[in-house]
Structure formats: structure tokens, C-alpha cells
């Protein structure tokens, strides 16, 4: 490949529209990688927090003591926040005169459900962007390819004698746009699927804890009323 046909020269000598499309794809790729690293770190932290909390909770720790310790932490999140939301509502409802154990259980579960929804929404932050990049980037690249090839053939039609050397640069620069579209789409699509699976597993774990914790609190309510 000669210097005239190098990737750098093809990009620099491409038409304005193709260069704009390449710039858009490059920007989408850079932002995607930033979100990939950020979400990967956030999900790892959530998984580590879940394991640590479950080890502490199922070790038989006193609920009042555990609540006091967790509620004093700054920036609580994950299962710890769900536990604190549920236990706080449980204590508040127990002080209500004439309330039934079923009402206490329902109120506690609703409080934890709201907290879990907020946590899941936080875990899913940026994932829609990755899904969008993974789905539309190839089409944006294809648009640049179509425009580049169309421009090359229009220019080819204006000359009397066409040669491969005349049309090759235009087609090559057009194909670079498709390649950039795939480069942007593949990591974003893979990361989206991977992160979505992790979020789903965390949501299931939160839901299982809510069910088990609600059963524990319900038994305590029934025992105290008895």
C-alpha cells in the first residue's frame, strides 16, 4: 500500500460528509468506552457490597445493631440501603397503634420495593446509551459508505476513461466508515449484554433478600403480638 492509500491519508482526504460521519462514530466509541469502564466498576462494587452484606446479615447479627451500623454509613447503596429502608419502616409501623402484622409486612415490603427500584435504576444508568450505540453505529457507518461510494462513482462518470486507481481511494475511504461503525458497535453491544445480565442477577438477589427479610419481620410481628 502506497502512502496515498494509507488509512490516515484516506481519512484526511475524504469528503466532508464522510469525515463528519467518522468523527461522530469516533466520538460515540470514546464515550462508550468511558461508560463501559464506569459501569464495570459500579457493578463490581454492587456485587462486592451484596456479598459482604449477606455474609453479615446471615451470620446472625442483631437487626437493631446492624441497622444502626449501616444507617451511619455515608453513601449507602445496594442491599444495605434496601435493608435500612425496610427495617426503618418496620420500626415506624410497629409504633402505630392497632396496626395488624399483615399491614406491617405490606408496608415494610413496599418500602424495600421502592428502594430496590431506585437501586436497579442506578445500576442501569448508561446502559441504554450502550444499547443505542451498539444498534445504530453500523447503520451510521453504512451511511458513510453509501455516500462515499456514490461520490466515487459520480466522479468516475465525469471522466472518459475510468481506471481502478481513480475509484479505489473513494471506495476505500467509504469502507473505513463501515469499519469505524463496527468498531464502535461491537464493544458497546457486548458490554450492554454483559452488564444487563449482571444487573438482572443483582435484581434477583435483591428480590430474594426482600422476600426472606419480609418473612423474618413478619414472624417477629406475629410473635410480638402473640
The pLDDT of residue 172 is: 80
Non-local (6+) Cβ contacts of 159 within 8 A are 166
- Could you tell me the pLDDT band of residue 223, with boundaries at 50, 70 and 90? confident
The pLDDT of residue 180 is: 92
The answer to whether residue 3 scores a pLDDT higher than 60 is no
pLDDT per position as a tens digit, 161-180: 656 666 676 778 788 889 99
d(CA 144, CA 194): 29
Cα–chain center distance at 126: 5
The mean pLDDT value of the chain amounts to: 87
49-63, 180-194, 212-226, range with greatest mean pLDDT: 180-194
3-state helix, strand, coil in the chain (%, to 5): 85, 0, 15
Closest-CA residue to 141 (of 4, 1, 3, 14): 14
Following CA atoms 155, 158, 162, 164 in sequence, which dihedral angle do they give, to the nearest 10 degrees?
0
The pLDDT of residue 163 is: 62
> Angle, nearest 10°, between helix axes 164-225 and 101-123?
160
Quick one: cell of 43? 457493578
- Could you tell me the pLDDT band of residue 1, with boundaries at 50, 70 and 90? very low
The answer to whether residue 49 scores a pLDDT higher than 90 is yes
- By residue count, the chain amounts to 226
Quick one: cell of 212? 426472606
The pLDDT of residue 147 is: 86
pTM of the model: 0.85
Non-local (6+) Cβ contacts of 169 within 8 A are 4, 5, 10, 13, 152
Cell match 481506471: residue?
Answer: 163
Do residues 195 and 130 make contact, with C-beta atoms less than 8 angstroms apart? yes
Interval 222-226 mean pLDDT: 69
Amino acid at each position: 500500500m502506497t502512502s496515498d492509500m494509507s488509512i490516515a491519508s484516506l481519512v484526511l482526504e475524504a469528503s466532508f460528509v464522510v469525515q463528519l460521519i467518522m468523527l461522530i462514530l469516533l466520538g460515540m466509541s470514546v464515550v462508550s468506552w468511558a461508560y463501559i469502564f464506569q459501569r464495570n466498576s459500579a457493578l463490581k462494587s454492587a456485587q462486592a457490597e451484596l456479598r459482604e452484606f449477606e455474609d453479615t446479615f446471615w451470620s446472625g447479627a442483631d437487626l437493631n445493631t446492624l441497622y444502626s451500623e449501616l444507617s451511619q454509613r455515608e453513601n449507602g447503596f445496594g442491599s444495605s440501603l434496601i435493608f435500612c429502608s425496610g427495617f426503618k419502616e418496620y420500626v415506624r409501623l410497629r409504633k402505630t397503634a392497632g396496626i395488624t402484622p399483615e399491614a406491617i409486612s405490606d408496608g415494610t415490603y413496599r418500602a424495600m420495593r421502592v428502594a430496590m427500584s431506585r437501586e436497579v435504576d442506578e445500576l442501569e444508568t448508561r446502559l441504554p446509551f450502550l444499547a443505542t450505540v451498539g444498534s445504530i453505529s453500523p447503520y451510521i457507518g453504512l451511511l458513510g459508505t453509501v455516500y462515499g461510494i456514490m461520490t466515487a462513482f459520480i466522479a468516475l462518470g465525469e471522466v472518459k476513461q475510468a481506471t481502478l486507481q481513480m475509484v479505489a481511494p473513494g471506495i476505500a475511504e467509504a469502507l473505513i466508515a463501515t469499519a469505524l461503525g463496527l468498531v464502535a458497535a461491537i464493544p458497546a453491544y457486548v458490554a450492554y449484554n454483559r452488564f444487563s445480565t449482571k444487573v438482572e442477577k443483582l435484581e434477583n438477589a435483591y428480590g430474594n433478600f426482600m422476600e426472606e427479610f419480609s418473612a423474618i419481620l413478619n414472624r417477629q410481628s406475629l410473635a410480638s403480638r402473640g
